[in-house]
Amino acid sequence: MLEWKLRLATHKDIPALHELIPRSVHHLQKDHYSHDQIEGALGSVFGVDSQLIRDGTYFVVEDTSIIGCGGWSQRKLLYGSDQLRSVDESCLLDAKYDAARVRAFFVDPNYVRKGIGTAILRACEEAIIVSGYTRAELVATLTGEPLYAAYGYIAVERYDIELAQGLALPVVRMLKSLS
């Protein structure tokens, strides 16, 4: 039985997240993306968005070390790390009109299918509702899609994120009503 606990991430967790995210992506996404796609997306599409930590909307799950992370956001950006964020996409959403974002879930490959993604998603949705939003939106990897689909997120658009060297990463935009 795992004894993990969920808490808000702090700046001190960033080195552990820099280690966890590539490990998670390399092990868990290999059925959906090529090595080159994963390498092309790491650091830009997949990586730490420290704005989420500063906003107090990013969670980690900790056992003896950090074994999962994920969060939500009241900012426009739908995906991406510090490297990808533009000023325009950092702007704040309006709970009256916009869907809150669900962002950047990564679980340690040794701990998958144990409910860690679920626990983080629940914590995000609770915080999103408390903040006055009635909808959540996300851009899922093909690896992440079954998790979100299991909790009522509906696929509304499939498209490719352009990567360097002519590569592309197929993803799916998903929505859920929380009202």
Containing H/E element for 172? Answer: strand 168-177
Residue 103 C-beta: closest distance to ligand COA, Å: 8
Say whether residue 33 binds ligand COA (CB under 6 A). Answer: no
Containing H/E element for 136? Answer: strand 135-141
In the complex with ligand COA, which residue's Cβ is closer, 132 or 162? 162
Say whether residue 163 binds ligand COA (CB under 6 A). Answer: no
What end-to-end distance do the CA atoms of the chain give, in Å?
A: 34
Here's the x/- map for ligand COA, 101-140, by CB under 6 A: it reads as ----xxx----xxxxxxx---------------------x
- Using CA atoms, how far residue 5 sits from 60, 63, 116, 137, in Å, is 8, 7, 10, 25
Is residue 47 within 8 A of residue 22, CB to CB? The reply is no
Say whether residue 170 binds ligand COA (CB under 6 A). Answer: no
**Residues 25, 128, 161, 163: which binds ligand COA (CB under 6 A)?**
25
In the complex with ligand COA, which residue's Cβ is closer, 72 or 105? 105
